[in-house]
Amino acid sequence: MPEAPARGTVLGFDFGLARIGVAVGEFETRRASALTTLAVEANTERFAAIARLIDEWRPVQLVVGLPLSVEGNPQEHTPRCRRFGNQLHGRFGLPVAMVDERFSSAEAERQLADAGHHRWTDRKPVLDAVAAQIILQHYLDSSAHAPTA
């Protein structure tokens, strides 16, 4: 994991082939919030939407969820997520951290159900953004980024 800046905004991504969940957080507050879900599949439009978010939020770091099996092994989509992270770094010149995303979608489903979103049609539009929030929050909470006494 690259050395994280001490201050600034961070964007987190839950990469998917059909949708990408996006969250925003701050190193100072150590809090992540769901931001949006990008429902564009073509790379040109996808990266144009991400460029707009980067222009708006001016992050100092990007975080991408890395899908792993329960045992911690790569899954079918793991190489695609790594490639997405490499593309983000190459296009925007920002450091990119790859973060274990195990159970983030299940946790997002639980949080949304607990918040009263019981129907799938209510959860689907925000599920990926909430999963990105969980991924980013785990990153901000990690011991490498926790405040020191």
pLDDT of amino acid 36 = 94
Least Cα distance to 62 among 18, 122, 105, 14 occurs for: 14
- pLDDT 10s digits, 20-72: 999 999 999 999 999 999 998 888 999 999 999 999 999 999 999 998 777 77
Supply the pTM of this predicted model.
Answer: 0.82
Domain ranges of the chain: 9-141
DSSP-derived secondary structure letter, 8: S
- pLDDT 10s digits, 65-93: 998 777 777 778 899 999 999 999 999 99
Looking at domain 9-141, its CATH superfamily turns out to be YqgF/RNase H-like domain (3.30.420.140)
